[in-house]
């Protein structure tokens, strides 16, 4: 029986956590998620992992203070074999990700050798990418730079919006997680160092692009930024003609 700590949320985190909870060879000892997991507004667009914590009677913390001494001691006291991070907002310090005996594994919603950090789906569309991916890797001191375990790539369609790509990446991420789960449990995990190049992008949380469309660059550049920023229920992109503000509303989108 592997003792596991789960850190994360959103739809991708919910489905991966459910997979862990249902596995007979896994004991999920603790769930740590973002405070936003407790949001109950009518516009909430993803399930809460607290539902799974309640269903399976697993200790649950909605906090962005995973690196605080009290949480570090809590995690240490559980002596976990593995820790999985699937969509958590904070960067784990070394004292935390080194606690599990067999390491801490992150599901990154992008090809980590191409896009690291925040908002990879948004920037992949803005940058005109035609291929996208999701990655499983060990966590180290860098941001999404740890040893690569596995990844999946797929075509990024020209008609997709930011929401379309996010949803497709979510599905591919869940599939990748399930595909590798037995390897994690057997301890037979092969990994390799990641490669970085001039084509490797890194974006910080402070770099989310403005929703205002200023029509700079080519028509293709403008189109890519518009579709990248379409992500219901968040505000749509907009532009001004004189002092009049116009909102760009999608007619249809599909994956």
Q: What is the mean pLDDT of the chain?
A: 96
CA–CA separation, 171 vs 157, rounded Å? 15
Whether residue 11 sits in one domain with residue 57:
yes
User: Domain check: are 89 and 133 in the same one?
Assistant: yes
CATH label of the domain that carries residue 154: 3.40.50.170
Tens digit of each residue's pLDDT (9 = 90 or more) over 97-110: 999 999 999 999 99
List pLDDT tens digits, range 189-202. 999 999 988 889 99
The reply to whether 252 falls in a domain is no
Position 187 confidence tier, pLDDT thresholds 50, 70, 90: confident
Looking at the structure, tell me whether residues 78 and 163 fall in a common domain: yes
* Residue 56, in any domain of the structure: yes
Cis peptide before 233 (omega within 30 of 0): yes
- 148 plus 243 within the same structural domain: no
pLDDT at 252 over 70: no
Would 254 be classed as within a structural domain? no
Q: What is the pLDDT of residues 117-165, one digit of tens each?
A: 999 999 999 999 999 999 999 999 999 999 999 999 999 999 999 999 9
Number of structural domains (the chain) is 2
Kindly report the CA angle at 177 between 76 and 14, in degrees rounded to 5? 70
Verify that 107 and 216 share a domain, yes or no. Answer: no
pTM above 0.85, yes or no: yes
**Tokens for 84?**
């999985």
For residues 173 and 87, membership in a common domain is answered with yes
Q: Is 129 exposed, middle or buried (0-12, 13-18, 19+ CB in 10 A)?
A: buried
Report the pLDDT value the prediction gives residue 177, as an integer from 0 to 100. 98
Q: Are residues 142 and 86 part of one domain?
A: yes
Please check whether residue 109 lies inside any domain of the structure: yes
CA angle 147, 72, 67 (to 5 degrees): 70
Rounded-to-integer distance, Cα 109 and Cα 101, Å: 25
One domain for residues 164 and 56: yes
Do residues 95 and 70 share a domain? yes
Strands 148-155 and 131-138: antiparallel
Assess whether 168 and 84 both reside in one domain: yes
Range of the domain at 53: 2-201
At 81 the pLDDT is 97
How far, rounded to the nearest angstrom, does the alpha carbon of residue 103 sit from its chain's CA centroid? 18
Tens digit of each residue's pLDDT (9 = 90 or more) over 42-99: 999 999 999 999 999 999 999 999 999 999 999 999 999 999 999 999 999 999 999 9
Does residue 12 form part of some domain?
yes
DSSP-derived secondary structure letter, 206? G
Same domain, 183 and 229: no
Which helix (H) or strand (E) segment holds residue 43: the answer is none
Are residues 196 and 228 both part of a single domain?
Answer: no
């Amino acid at each position: 029986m592997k003792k596991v700590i789960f850190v994360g949320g959103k739809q991708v985190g919910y489905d991966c956590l459910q997979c862990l909870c249902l596995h007979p060879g896994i004991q999920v000892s603790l769930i740590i998620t973002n405070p936003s997991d407790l949001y109950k507004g009518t516009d909430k667009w993803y399930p809460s992992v607290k539902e799974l914590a309640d269903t399976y009677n697993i200790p649950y913390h909605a906090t962005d203070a995973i690196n605080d001494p009290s949480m570090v001691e809590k995690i240490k006291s559980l002596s976990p074999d593995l820790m999985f991070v699937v969509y958590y907002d904070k960067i784990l310090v070394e004292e935390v990700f080194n606690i599990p005996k067999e390491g801490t594994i992150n599901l990154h919603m992008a090809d980590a050798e191409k896009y690291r950090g925040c908002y990879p789906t948004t920037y992949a569309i803005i940058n005109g990418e035609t291929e996208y991916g999701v990655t499983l890797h060990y966590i180290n001191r860098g941001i999404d730079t740890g040893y690569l375990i596995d990844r999946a790539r797929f075509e990024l369609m020209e008609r997709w919006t930011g929401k379309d790509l996010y949803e497709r990446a979510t599905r591919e991420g869940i599939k990748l997680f399930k595909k590798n789960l037995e390897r994690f449990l057997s301890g037979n995990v092969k990994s390799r160092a990641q490669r970085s190049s001039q084509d490797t992008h890194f974006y910080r949380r402070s770099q989310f692009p403005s929703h205002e469309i200023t029509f700079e660059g080519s028509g293709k550049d403008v189109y890519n930024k518009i579709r990248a920023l379409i992500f219901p229920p968040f505000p749509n992109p907009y532009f001004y003609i004189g002092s009049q503000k116009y909102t760009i509303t999608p007619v249809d989108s599909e994956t």
